[in-house]
Structure 1
Amino acid sequence: MSERPTTGWRKGIEKEQRELAAGTLDPDCACMAQLFPEQLITRTDSVLDAFEAEVSALQDAADERVFAAVQRVVLALNAVNDEHDGAAYDTDEREQLCHYIDEAFTEQGVDVVALTARHGLGRYELTDQWRDW
């Protein structure tokens, strides 16, 4: 499975902590832990756990089942975003999450380009119908 966005967020926090401890980063420039509090990462991971379990059973699934999985993960991420006053996922995080969703399906043999085209969508519009973040 592709690397989760949360893995990168955790790595960024750890790197920043090392730099702070070494004195190579001005504390006023440290922002990773504030941008990605543990509760946000934990909740996002929980959503992605459920998504991965569902996606692993979707080989050769009908379009409706794939779109249902997209809807569930996006609505769950919307809820996480709402828990953080609509500020959990900015542009970079949104792109990372959308890419992760696309890659998860691709790794299970879902042709995302063909799937979205059959429904009059561009590849990168897979999540748009339900996404608030």
Structure 2
Amino acid sequence: MAKRPPENWRAWMAEIARAVATGELEPECASAAEMYPESLLQATDAALETFEGDVRALREPSDEEVFATIERVVVALNTVDGDDSHGGACYCTEEREQLCEYIDLTLSEHGVDVAALAARRGINRAEITDDWRDW
């Protein structure tokens, strides 16, 4: 099963904390770990959990049903990304790429041929989130 991006982000923050604790990294160099406040991680997890449930519920879906599922998760992630309660934290390039890859992998793991889906719409598989994505 595809690993949710917040798991990667939590692991990275734990590695930073370990490096500071062992003296490998100066505390003032660890401020990048603030990129992932717990509120952002939890809200992202919640959006992805809902997406996973939506994908599991798909049974021989039409392209429209799959794209509606993609739209829902992207709009939910837009809300997370734009939420001021995260102290200004938002998705940057690496996070965006991980989220898009996660969406693709999750669909693929549940039998959706993402390349064919995208081709039928005249786009590249990397563009399946583009119509709705603000992040």
Report the TM-score, using the length of structure 1 for normalisation. Answer: 0.95
Which consecutive unaligned segments of at least 5 residues does structure 1 have? none
Contact 2:35–2:89 at 8 Å: present in 1 too? no
Aligned to 1:119: 121
How many Å separate the matches in 1 of 2:60 and 2:22?
Answer: 51
The more displaced of 82-91 and 55-64 is 82-91
Runs ≥4 residues deviating over 2 A: 84-87
Percent of residue pairs bearing the same amino acid type: 50
Name the CA distance, whole Å, in 1 between partners of 2:88 and 2:129: 17
Aligned to 1:56, what secondary structure does the other structure show?
A: helix
Residue deviations 1:93-123 (CA, integer Å, cap 9, x gap): 0000000000000000100000011011111
- Secondary structure of the equivalent of 1:95? helix
1:14 equivalent to 2:24? Answer no
Question: Contact 1:12–1:32 at 8 Å: present in 2 too?
Answer: no
> What TM-score, normalized by structure 2, do the two folds share?
0.94
Say which SS state the counterpart of residue 121 (structure 1) adopts.
Answer: coil
Whole-angstrom CA distance in 2 between matches of 1:31 and 1:105:
34
Checking the alignment, whether the CA contact within 8 Å between 1:59 and 1:109 is kept in structure 2 is no
Q: Which deviations, in whole Å up to 9, do the C-alpha atoms of 1:32-74 show, x marking residues without a partner?
A: 4310010000000000110001111224211111000000000
Once the two structures are superposed, the pairs formed by residues 1-133 of structure 1 within 5 Å of their partners are 1-84=1-84, 87-133=89-135
Cα root mean square deviation, aligned: 1.4
